[in-house]
Structure 1
Amino acid sequence: MEPLRIKSAIDTPEVSFDPGTLRFCISGISHPENAKEFYTKLLVWLDEFFEKNQDKQAEPITLDLNFRYINSTSYKYLREVLRKLTVFHKKGFNIQIVWQYQVEDEDLLEEGQILLSLPDIKLNHQFISYE
């Protein structure tokens, strides 16, 4: 399966989903003109990945999130990504979420804490600050 790579633009984050390393990253600014179209690409790729990788359930998959800014529409679709990962986690996949944020950006930390504590999202996660 081919990796999913989307270069960042002024209003869209960089995406790097690598099935070889099982490291999936979304980083940068997320306020695309059409968030549904942008995030649907990620959701479709994830469906294909999990369908083709049932034998890799024990290997840890890391989703690394490092936003400088995320608007409310993107946040809604990110929630859908995390819901999908929760479904796969319930099917036996070992999934870890890493939410990175700049140390002074308490708002972004709080957004991640709220998102990852929602009742429909049950994933192992950690918050990592950086300068």
Structure 2
Amino acid sequence: MKPLRINAEIDSPEIFFNPESRVFSISGISHPENPKEFYQQVIDWLDEFYEYMKNQEPSKIIVDLNFRYINSTSYKYLREVLRKIATFRDSNFEVEVLWYYHEEDEELLHEGVVLFELPDINLPYKCIPYN
């Protein structure tokens, strides 16, 4: 299976989902012109990944999120992406989310905590500050 790689633009994040290492990374600024279209390609790739993996040994998936900025519409679609990843746990995958945030950005920290504790997501996570 091929990795998913989307290069960062001025208004959209870099995405690199590596099926071999099982590290799924989204980083940068997220306020694309059409967030539904942008994030739908991620959800489609996750569906393919799930089909690819369902007959293989379960393993750990690391979701590495490092936003400098994410608008509310992108946040809504990120929730959909994480909801999809959360369903992998039903197939005995272990999932861990790393949420990086600037140490002075309390709002972004709070947004991550709220997101991962939503009942439809409820993924183990670590919030990691940087300066």
TM superposition score category, shorter chain reference: over 0.9
SS state at 2:26 partner: strand
Structure 1 counterpart of 2:30 = 30
Residue aligned with 1:78, SS = helix
Secondary structure of 2:121's match?
coil
**Offset of 1:128 from its aligned partner?**
0.6
Q: Which residue of 1 aligns with 2:3?
A: 3
Match of 1:95 in 2: 95
The residue that corresponds to 1:75 in the other structure is 75
Q: Secondary structure at the match of 1:56?
A: coil
Q: Which amino acid aligns with 1:56?
A: E
The structural deviation recorded for 1:86 is: 1.2
Distance 1:122 1:89 in 2: 10
Distance 2:122 2:90 in 1: 9
SS of structure 2 residue aligned to 1:10:
coil
Question: Which whole-Å CA distance do the structure 2 matches of 1:79 and 1:19 have between them?
Answer: 21
Q: Secondary structure, in 3 states, of the residue corresponding to 1:8? A: coil
Residue aligning to 1:45: 45
Q: TM-score, normalised by structure 1?
A: 0.96
Q: Distance in 1 between matches of 2:3 and 2:94?
A: 19
Alpha-carbon distance between aligned partners in 2 of 1:25 and 1:42, rounded to the nearest angstrom: 11
Matches within 5 A, 1:92-131: 92-131=92-131
SS in 1 for 2:125: strand
Residues in 1 aligned to 2:98 and 2:17: alpha-carbon distance in whole angstroms = 14
Counterpart of 1:37 in structure 2: which amino acid?
A: E
- Name segments (4+ residues, structure 1) moved above 2 Å: none
TM-score (norm: length of structure 2): 0.96
Match of 2:13 in 1: 13
Unpaired segments ≥5 residues, structure 2:
none
Measure the CA separation in 2 of the matches of 1:113 and 1:53.
28
Structure 1: stretches of 5+ with no match in the other structure: none
Instruction: Tell me how many residue pairs correspond in the alignment.
Output: 130
Maintained 8 Å contact 1:26/1:64: yes
- CA deviation string 1:31-58 (max 9, x = no partner): 000000000000000010011012131x
